[in-house]
Amino acid sequence: MNLSAPRNWAAPVPHGDEDTLAASGLAMFVHAPYLVNPASSDPAVRHRSRTCLEAESAAAARLGACGLVVHGGHAGEEASVGDGIDRWVETLRGAQLGCRLLIENTAGGSSAVARTPNDLGRLVEALRGAGHDVGVVLDTCHAHAAGLDLRTVVDELSEACGAIDLVHANDSKDPAGSGRDRHEHLGEGTVPPEQLVAVVASASAPVVVETPGGASRQAADIAWLRDRLGPLAQGATSVDA
């Protein structure tokens, strides 16, 4: 569930069902608004990103969420990945975060901080070295769009970051290497189905689908995945924010 509008800076608003959700036993993952970018060259964006992450992580903690998912962000033109990583560390210096941050790999952009496993590993290492509890999310659409090899990406990301904490199982509307983040229903896009299933099977992590069309279409995608995974599919879920 989204705790606030995904495309603005509004603070999360209590819905009144926090206690019920916390007691449900569901493995929940909250997604931070898409505007969050601690790697930005704009100090105002970094300040708002920190404030947003503190508020969102506190709200996620009240639900008992397993983590707050946040995009790796972009450092901006003429900035390096290292610049973006340094800004991440500085932005979160002294921040009060209520739950674990899970940083998601990025689909495209020349200044993306988390497009490759190596770069995401550098970011995670820097934040852990600064004392933050940080994990990673592997989005199959993003990896495909970034031109990564889905046959090896689980091993590469696990080696760079230690483990994969969550998989976003999404097909892609666009070809490999397009840099475009457009999700498609499982088995209906350009990701080879056997590679998508293999990623989920080998990642040893909870799975969320973020495909279009609402709950009924996502339920069909979950069934598609479970049919192909068999007994390994018990962790597949659509509870995300």
Residue with tokens 């080696």: 159
Strand ranges, E, within 86-227:
101-104, 134-139, 166-168, 171-172, 183-184, 207-208
* Distance of alpha carbon 46 from alpha carbon 31, whole angstroms: 18
Sign of CA dihedral 13, 10, 64, 213: positive
Closest of 35, 45, 31, 34 to residue 168, by C-alpha? 31
State how far the Cα of 154 lies from the Cα of 192, in Å rounded to an integer. 15
Per-residue pLDDT of the chain (241 residues; tens, 9 = 90+): 678 878 889 888 877 888 888 888 888 999 999 999 999 999 999 999 999 999 999 999 999 999 999 999 999 988 999 999 999 999 999 999 999 999 999 999 889 999 999 999 999 999 999 999 999 999 999 999 999 999 999 999 999 999 999 999 999 999 999 999 999 999 999 999 999 999 999 999 999 999 999 999 999 999 999 999 985 555 555 444 3
pLDDT of residue 180: 96
Chain CA centroid to CA 236, Å: 16
CA 57 distance to own-chain centroid? 14
CATH (residue range 26-237): 3.20.20.150
3-state secondary structure of 197: helix
The pLDDT value given to residue 21: 83
Using alpha carbons, list the distances in angstroms from residue 18 to 61, 63, 64.
Answer: 10, 5, 9
Pairing between β-strand 171-172 and β-strand 183-184 as defined by DSSP bridges:
antiparallel
C-alpha to C-alpha distances, 11 to 8, 54, 57, 59, 70, nearest whole angstrom: 9, 10, 11, 10, 15
| Dist. CA 21–CA 1, nearest whole Å | 11
